[in-house]
Amino acid sequence: MGFVSHQNSIATGGSKPRQSARERAYEMIGAAILAGTFAEGEFLDEAVLAREVGTSRTPVREALHRLQAERFVDLVPRRGAQVRVVTATEMRQIYQARFVIEANAIGKICDRRLGAPPEAPELIEALETAGRNQDWNEFAQLDQRFHSCIVQHQGNAVLAQMYDSLRPRQVRLAVRTITQGPERFPTIEREHRELEAALNAHDASLSTRILNVHLQEVPELVRAFSE
């Protein structure tokens, strides 16, 4: 079976206007990697990808270069594109980078008594629906949007852009971690609501503690990423 059915937007999971062949290839290959259709460490055949996407090899090659920049694949000389293996070290570093940026945003939001972002309740509801349906790709997309809206809410466009540059890796990591440990979904659900409530209470200390717990390492997942 091919990967044509995995056509959700990597960015939002929503429908989009008619795309170029390069955009279509990027969306479809990236979504297939997120869905696990292409396993970590697997080499991708450009000719097969082109046939699946319904285009020539040039748009596929361009899409693979973009996916390399976003750290979905590695381009190996004379061997082609290989799906990147997410390591425990990379997982740890992504969480650390997220905490630095998000904690800074939380401090500014609470200092200015802005409360939680206005879109937070709707995103949390959608997250919970995706989790109950075990649609982990959609769940990961919405999780990234929830945390991104917190960073954006502080009003620093540069920090928001820096945070969103992590999006592809953050989404892929979220898919992998929730797939490895779906039993954590109720905990994640509770922590999102606790973080929203703490922001609305303008409590920076509590909000930061919740975020720290939310992003802490889970030993079972670290072991899974190390294998």
In this predicted model, what pLDDT tens digit does every residue of 92-129 receive, in sequence order? 899 999 999 999 999 999 999 999 999 999 999 999 99
pLDDT at 16: 52
- What is the CATH class of 88-226? mainly alpha
Domain ranges of the chain: 21-83, 88-226
pLDDT at 7: 45
Domain at 21-83, CATH from 2.40.50.140, 1.10.10.10, 3.40.640.10, 2.40.340.10: 1.10.10.10
d(CA 178, CA 184): 7
pLDDT at 206: 98
Instruction: Examine the pLDDT at 211 and tell me if it is beyond 90.
Output: yes
Q: 1 falls in which pLDDT band (50, 70, 90)? A: very low
**Which residue's structure tokens are 């999780």?**
143
d(CA 173, CA 80): 23
pLDDT at 220: 63
- Tell me how crowded residue 49 is: count the other CB atoms within 10 A of its CB: 25
pLDDT at 97: 94
- What's the mean pLDDT when you consider all of the chain? 88
Q: 198 falls in which pLDDT band (50, 70, 90)? A: very high
